[in-house]
Amino acid sequence: MRLLAIDVGNTRLKWASFVSGIIRDHGALILEEISTLNDTQWKALPPPDRIIGSNVAGDAVRHRVEDQLARWAVDPEWIVAHAAECGVVNGYDRPALLGPDRWAALIAARRRVPDGPCLVITVGTAVTVDALDDKGTFLGGLIVPGFGLMLDALEAGTAGLRVPSGDFQTFPTNTSNALMSGGVHALAGAAERMARLLSERTGRTPRVLLAGGAAPKLASHLQFAYTMVENLVLEGLARIAEARKQAVQPLRAVGGGS
């Protein structure tokens, strides 16, 4: 079976084609370029047997993606978070309101770390820091503005901070570097605090998975070991598709024998 997994974020769309659970093709583009998919990245893509996706960019963007998917006679399945799935228990107050991308990332993380606590850090337009305990329960997580949103907010809310992008410095000596360094410390501090809290909660040092398009900007500033994962949400979507297919097959077998 050929599966097409699609992760529609706030800024970019990422996709991957899986065959027997292995990525064969993949790509990414900014949301403004969605209408070019069939003429570019998907032009020579073999037809999928199934399409699964997560979308946090709203209905208008989803419709634009579906316009491109219409070339194949396969209805896409857009996931929502469940109370429990694939070995992960959703601890959100209202499970369905957890972002589908976060849910897929947690499911992929549980597969990668099946027997211990895990911290999932995704660095994109926003930064999420999500905690899984050793039993696979999602304990909760943080949402923090990403680098760009932090800088935009400071520029919009102050009169004198409209400056070019700077670099990280331990002790910044100009405004540009002060802004960038402040963002790095804010994000790294949130991640390190959550890692400590999860360790205290579980009594074990958590594995840390780092994902997202802007992850490299944060990675070198973290004070703990981590594993960089390029396509964590897409991995999770593939895992969800696999599990749901297996759940349906016994029902079909029972129905066929009646």
Give domain limits for the chain: 2-78, 84-237
Instruction: Give the pLDDT of residue 46.
Output: 96
Instruction: Give the pLDDT of residue 158.
Output: 73
Assigned token pair, 6: 């699609």
Distance, in Å, from the CA atom of 10 to the CA atom of 7, rounded to the nearest integer, reads 10
Strands 207-211 and 137-145: unpaired
CATH of 2-78, one of 3.40.50.720, 3.30.110.40, 3.40.30.10, 3.30.420.40: 3.30.420.40
The model's confidence at residue 38, banded by pLDDT at 50, 70 and 90, is very high
Domain 84-237 sits in CATH at 3.30.420.40
186 contacts: CB under 8 Å, gap ≥ 6: 144, 150
The model's confidence at residue 160, banded by pLDDT at 50, 70 and 90, is low
The model's confidence at residue 156, banded by pLDDT at 50, 70 and 90, is confident
Catalytic residue selected from 7, 101, 130, 133:
101
Q: Is 112 in a helix, a strand, or coil? A: helix
The model's confidence at residue 147, banded by pLDDT at 50, 70 and 90, is confident
Q: Is the pLDDT of residue 255 over 60?
A: no
In CATH terms, are 2-78 and 84-237 the same topology?
Answer: yes
Identify whether 101 is a catalytic site residue: yes
Q: Are 199 and 188 in contact (CB under 8 A)?
A: no
Instruction: Say which amino acid occupies 15.
Output: W
Radius of gyration of the chain (CA): 20
Q: What is the mean pLDDT of residues 31-60?
A: 97
Cα 88–Cα 200–Cα 211 angle in degrees, nearest 5:
50
Instruction: Give the pLDDT of residue 257.
Output: 47
The phi, psi pair for 34, rounded to 5°, reads -55, -40
The rounded mean pLDDT for the chain is 93
Q: What is the pTM of this model?
A: 0.92
Q: What is the mean pLDDT of residues 234-241?
A: 98
